[in-house]
């Protein structure tokens, strides 16, 4: 019991002390996750909509593949991209390993299947006559598609929130591709892993509480956007 | 749609904010978890970073992985503690200019009750042999780290092949292994620095120490710029010189944890 109480006290102290290291760690987590989700959404929303609206041979196979990719273990993504970004790998010249960009790339790979799947489900769940109605009312195909996305905006938002949850809470990609470098690629999750390895369990758990609070605020913010 | 745009804007803004941070020169140092966990680097590195206006990116992994990162050219400098692996790293042409930085020693930890009677032994070979004879729980790092390779050497010296349900290969960092051995009331091999840092968190005590085979030197090696042209050899060389300078020596020998000195210099 003492251990848990101590962690909660340490968490509150950490949040209100505005410790520089903690701020930096929270910031790194937030901006890598936001960049990853922004990139991933621009990629995944069109994919989800296209899959939801079109019929073609092998469509079910593509969907099954996407569903499977949702279960991608983070360390596997980390391993594959490590091989790509390492100096000996095909993209080695760019020197991207152990930088935030490498982490963002890994997170995009993790989030894209989730967002496409959620958007696909939203498109399949909505009335498919929207497009035709919009077209008969004189909308261009692009306008018709935008109308559809407006209609399923709650689904799209749910997709983004789910993707965000996946990337901000994961540790495999951040650790393998970021390297847990202080003031550079140390995120909330890798900091928790580090504190745990140092035996600072209370401090690690306190960071966990900070992470949850940050996630709570981000979700409140997204919620606000959604209601507008 | 608007919200997505807001997200993209927020993301690009944050990238813009982080760009200036890339202006200072970065030196990549792969080192072991025991070095990082000891806390020494946080007093040793800042003076060098300030005088040279650079940032040292520390990547803390096991010795095996640290050397791999050097071989693939993903770091500029490695600081590890496994002499045989270091020599091979240099012999294979991946590393140049090795320097002795500091040393400490390994200790065998065990429960206070000492079920295998390790405290009665006088040298490390018989200490390891008695643990194996009693089939007393022993937690091994099992992660190809410097400590792990030393542990395997010690088993060989004791003419024992550790095997059986008493021998647990954890595959984790030093601190985690000490905690695990404490929970399982078993024995383990640890560097003294990590043990001192963890002495308040475990009930394990030192049951064997002082044998010459437990000497643990740390070396620093620059990654060969002829193999990997992008290595920042000039800054790396300055860093190596700094690590063996009087200033660094004073910082290393002056570093205390729980009132005890963790590292020594030759």
Regarding whether B172 and B135 lie in a shared domain, the answer is: yes
Regarding whether B95 and B221 lie in a shared domain, the answer is: yes
Give the pLDDT band (50/70/90) at residue A8.
confident
Q: Which CATH architecture best describes the domain A2-227?
A: Orthogonal Bundle (1.10)
**Contact between residue B221 and residue B96 where contact means Cβ atoms under 8 Å apart:** yes
Q: What is the DSSP string of chain A?
A: -HHHHHHHHHHHHHHHHT-HHHHHHHHHHHHHHHHHHHHHHHHHHHHHHHHHH---TTHHHHHHHHHHHTT--HHHHHHHHHHHHSTTSTTGGG--TTSHHHHHHHHHHHHHHHHHHHHHHHHHHS-THHHHHHHHTT--HHHHHHHHHHHTHHHHHHHHHHHHHHHHT--HHIIIII---TTTT--HHHHHHHHHHTT-HHHHHHHHHHHHHHHHHHHHHHHHHHH-
Cβ contacts of B57 on chain A, cutoff 8 Å: 98, 179, 181, 184
CATH of residue B40's domain is 3.40.190.10
| Residue B6 pLDDT greater than 60, yes or no | no
Mutate to test the interface with A, among B2, B10, B11 (most CBs of A within 10 A): B11
What does pLDDT average to over chain B? 87
Cβ contacts of B4 on chain A, cutoff 8 Å: 38, 41-42, 45, 156, 160
Q: Look at residue B11 in the predicted model and tell me its pLDDT.
A: 53
Answer whether residue B5 is part of any domain: no
Answer whether residue B1 is part of any domain: no
Answer whether residue B10 is part of any domain: no
Mutate to test the interface with A, among B44, B59, B227, B257 (most CBs of A within 10 A): B59
pLDDT higher at B251 or B2: B251
Q: Give pLDDT tens digits for B220-247.
A: 999 999 999 999 999 999 999 999 999 9
Q: Look at residue B20 in the predicted model and tell me its pLDDT.
A: 44
Number of domains making up chain B? 2
| Residue A24 pLDDT greater than 50, yes or no | yes
Q: Which of B3, B18, B175 sits opposite A199 (nearest CB)?
A: B175
| Residue A37 pLDDT greater than 90, yes or no | yes
- Residues spanned by the domain of B52: 24-103+217-261
| Residue B162 pLDDT greater than 50, yes or no | yes
Does A42 contact B at CB distance below 8 Å? Answer: yes
Q: Which of B3, B15, B179 sits opposite A199 (nearest CB)?
A: B179
Answer whether residue B160 is part of any domain: yes
Instruction: Report the pLDDT averaged over residues A75-104.
Output: 91
Regarding whether B115 and B203 lie in a shared domain, the answer is: yes
Interface A-B, measured as beta-carbon pairs within 8 A, has a size of 91
Answer whether residue B7 is part of any domain: no
Regarding whether B95 and B111 lie in a shared domain, the answer is: no
Regarding whether B110 and B99 lie in a shared domain, the answer is: no
Answer whether residue B12 is part of any domain: no
CA distance A180 to chain B (A): 7
Does B173 contact A at CB distance below 8 Å? Answer: yes
Regarding whether B201 and B117 lie in a shared domain, the answer is: yes
pLDDT above 70 covers a percentage of chain A that reads 99
Answer whether residue B224 is part of any domain: yes
Per-range mean pLDDT, top range of B27-31, B59-63, B174-178? B27-31
Regarding whether B202 and B110 lie in a shared domain, the answer is: yes
Q: How far is CA B5 from the centre of its chain?
A: 45
Instruction: Report the pLDDT averaged over residues A37-51.
Output: 95
Q: Look at residue A42 in the predicted model and tell me its pLDDT.
A: 96
| ipTM of the shown complex | 0.71
Regarding whether B113 and B82 lie in a shared domain, the answer is: no
| Residue A128 pLDDT greater than 90, yes or no | no
Closest C-alpha to B12, from A160, A35, A55: A35
Regarding whether B245 and B121 lie in a shared domain, the answer is: no
Instruction: Report the pLDDT averaged over residues A53-81.
Output: 93
**Contact between residue A177 and residue A103 where contact means Cβ atoms under 8 Å apart:** yes
Regarding whether B209 and B109 lie in a shared domain, the answer is: yes
Q: Look at residue B79 in the predicted model and tell me its pLDDT.
A: 95
Per-range mean pLDDT, top range of A40-44, B53-57, B184-188? A40-44
Cβ contacts of B73 on chain A, cutoff 8 Å: 87-88, 92
Q: Under an 8 A CB cutoff, do A38 and B176 touch?
A: no
Which residue matches tokens 């929207």? A130
Q: Look at residue B14 in the predicted model and tell me its pLDDT.
A: 54
Instruction: Report the pLDDT averaged over residues B89-102.
Output: 94
């Amino acid at each position: 019991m003492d251990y848990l109480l101590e962690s909660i006290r340490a968490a509150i102290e950490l949040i209100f002390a505005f410790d520089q290291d903690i701020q930096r760690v929270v910031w790194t987590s937030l901006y890598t996750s936001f960049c990853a989700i922004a990139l991933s959404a621009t990629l995944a929303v069109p994919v989800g909509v296209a899959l939801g609206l079109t019929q073609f041979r092998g469509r079910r196979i593509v969907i099954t593949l996407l569903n499977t990719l949702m279960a991608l273990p983070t360390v596997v993504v980390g391993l594959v991209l490590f091989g790509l970004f390492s100096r000996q790998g095909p993209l080695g010249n760019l020197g991207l390993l152990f930088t935030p960009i490498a982490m963002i790339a890994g997170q995009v790979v993790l989030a894209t299947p989730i967002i496409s799947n959620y958007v696909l489900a939203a498109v399949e769940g909505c009335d498919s006559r929207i497009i035709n109605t919009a077209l008969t009312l004189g909308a261009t195909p692009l306008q018709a598609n935008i109308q559809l996305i407006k209609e399923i905006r709650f689904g799209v938002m749910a997709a983004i929130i789910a993707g965000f949850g996946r990337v901000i809470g994961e540790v495999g990609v951040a650790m393998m591709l970021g390297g847990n470098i202080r003031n550079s690629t140390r995120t909330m999750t890798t900091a928790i892993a580090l504190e745990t390895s140092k035996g600072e369990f209370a401090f690690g758990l306190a960071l966990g509480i900070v992470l949850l609070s940050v996630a709570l605020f981000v979700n409140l913010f997204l919620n606000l956007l959604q209601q507008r | 749609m608007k919200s997505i745009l807001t997200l993209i804007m927020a993301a690009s803004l944050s990238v813009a904010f982080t760009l200036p941070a890339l202006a200072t020169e970065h030196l990549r140092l792969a080192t072991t978890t025991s070095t990082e966990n000891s806390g020494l680097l946080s007093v040793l590195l800042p003076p060098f970073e300030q005088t040279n206006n650079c940032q040292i990116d520390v990547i803390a992994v096991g010795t095996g992985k640290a050397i791999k990162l050097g071989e693939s050219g993903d770091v500029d400098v490695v600081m590890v503690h496994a002499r045989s692996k270091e020599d091979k790293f240099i012999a294979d042409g991946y590393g140049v200019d090795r320097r002795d930085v500091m040393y400490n020693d390994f200790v065998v930890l065990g429960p206070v009750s000492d079920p295998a009677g390790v405290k009665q032994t006088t040298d490390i070979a018989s200490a390891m042999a008695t643990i194996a004879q009693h089939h007393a729980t022993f937690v091994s790092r099992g992660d190809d780290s410097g400590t792990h390779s030393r542990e395997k050497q010690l088993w060989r010296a004791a003419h024992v092949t550790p095997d059986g349900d008493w021998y647990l290969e954890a595959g984790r960092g030093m601190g985690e292994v000490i905690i695990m051995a404490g929970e399982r009331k078993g024995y383990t091999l640890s560097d003294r620095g990590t043990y001192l840092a963890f002495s308040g968190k475990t009930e394990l005590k030192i049951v064997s120490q002082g044998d010459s085979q437990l000497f643990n030197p740390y070396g620093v090696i620059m990654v060969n710029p002829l193999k990997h042209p992008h290595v920042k050899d000039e800054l790396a060389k300055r860093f190596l010189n700094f690590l063996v300078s009087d200033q660094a020596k004073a910082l290393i020998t002056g570093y205390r944890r729980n009132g005890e000195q963790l590292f020594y210099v030759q």
